Structure formats: structure tokens, C-alpha cells
Chain A
């Protein structure tokens, strides 16, 4: 019994370290890769779709865009991004629109917006599944474009 008392805390130090490693590992894994859902959306007040091939935007996202004046929203393009920490991902959403995304840390992302090949804006923002980011701008015929980005 005496010999066991020499290092009575050893199993618990081991257990503690094991838990620590697991926690750090889990944190690292969770931070290592993130997925984003990116959609290019068209906002219009027209009664019909400008392009019959465009499908209406998901109702939950359309509801979130209710703060804007446009009545109808159509999904022009949709892409899924898999991001590794601090690695850049560039995607083209339309012939004119392109974005470059980088995962910074946690739920923070850096997004660079390109219009017709020209860099127009750099945005650093927190993006989650419940709190998407909408990058928007006016377009001709009283319409608007939206880039909706949310975490998957």
C-alpha cells in the first residue's frame, strides 16, 4: 500500500492529460475545416422570374431578406465551399461575380469580392449557420444581387 502511495495522483494526471489532448484535438479538428454554403441570389419586384431556369430562394433565407424592398428572390447559383484554415478559396458565381474566401478563426471569415474581375471589397465577418452574411448591391432595372454565405 505504501508503494502505491508514492504516486497516488499519477493515474489522474494521465487521465487529465488524456482529456486535455482530446479537448485540444477536438478543438483543432473543429477549427481545421469548415464548410460554407454560398449562393448568388437575384432580388426582383417583377411578378415573374427573369429567367425561367432560376428557382425561388429557400423560404427561410428569403424570410431573412425580408428587410429589403424586393419581393422575390431567385437562386442564380449555389456552391459549397470546404475551407481549410487560412487557405484561400476562389469561386466564380457568375461571369461577372467572383469571391475569394478565407477562414480566419472560429466563425470569422475574410471575403474578397470581385466584380468583372476587379477587386471591389474586402470584408471580414462572422458567419454561422444561424447568422449568414449577405453581400448585396443594386443592379439595373431596380433589381439587386445578393451573395448569401452561411456555415454548413
Chain B
């Protein structure tokens, strides 16, 4: 028994065949044991499925239940709609925001770098005359820079003593 006959037999049992096909299947079942066994098996299976099919009772009427589903679908479409309406700018925004963020970051870095480029340099000192000396000292602990001025001539006198 080929697949086509098996399918026709199944359709016959479901009442989905024409009268001519029904007559042919009926004739087959009269003399074909294999067809009889398959038909018996299918009937048994059908009976088992019908008998054990779980039933669900809706808490509300059928129409009201479907109208709820319909409203849910419409609501979700409406929620999606504004996004679609804003679509003319959103892709652009998404596309350029990264660039602007990067440009802003670069700008900030360059501004900070510009402001800070000289601040990291050590201080400079320039004495006007030979007689004055200066010592620069920075204390990280005290967070203070000291420029101590001294009289060179006086230091020479102290050293000679």
C-alpha cells in the first residue's frame, strides 16, 4: 500500500473524499487486510484524540474574547506607529549622535589639553641682577610652590665665614 492510498484512506475516514473515491476505498477495505489494519488504527487514534482532547472554557463569551484580542492587536499597532512616524529623524539622529559625541569629546579634550599644556610645565624664574638668587621648590605634600629669594652677596659672606 503506497502513501497515496494511505492518505486517501485517512481522508475517507475523515469524510473528505468524493463518493466515487469512497466507493473505491470501501472496496479496498473489503479485501485488503493491510488497509483494514490501518483503518482500524486510524479510527482508534481518532477516537483517542477526540476523547482526550483538552477543552478550555473561556471566562467570557467567544465574541468578547476575540474582540479583546483584536483590541490588543490594534493597541500594539498604535504604539508602534509613533516610532514609525518619527522615523524620518531617528535614523539620522542615531547616525550622527555618535559623531557629535565624538566631536564633543575631542573638543573637550583639546580644550583641556590647550588649557593644561602649559600648566604642567615647571615654573620659570629670571633674576634681574647678579646679586639676587632664587630657589624654586614645589611641595606636593603641602600643595604649594615656593620661590625663595636670597642675596648672593650675603650668601658669599656666610660661606666665607
- Which residues of B have CB within 8 Å of A132? 143-145
A19 at the B interface (CB under 8 A): yes
How many B residues are at the interface, by size bracket? Answer: 35 or more
CA distance A127 to B104 in the complex (A): 28
CA distance A120 to B97 in the complex (A): 55
By the criterion CB–CB under 8 Å, are B89 and A11 in contact?
yes
- Which residues of A have CB within 8 Å of B121? 126
B19 at the A interface (CB under 8 A): no
- Taking chain B's interface residues, is the majority helix, strand, or loop, or is none over half, making it mixed? mixed
CA distance A4 to B16 in the complex (A): 58
Which of the residues B111, B115, B128, B146 comes within 8 Å of A134, measured between beta carbons?
B146
By the criterion CB–CB under 8 Å, are A120 and B127 in contact?
yes
Closest to A15 in B: B100
- Which residues of B have CB within 8 Å of A138? 150-151
- Chain B positions 89-114 with a Cβ under 8 Å from a chain A Cβ: 89, 91-93, 95-97, 100, 103-104, 107-108, 111
| List of 10 A-B pairs having minimum Cβ-Cβ separation, nearest first | A8-B92, A125-B123, A124-B124, A137-B149, A122-B126, A106-B115, A4-B88, A134-B146, A119-B128, A64-B144
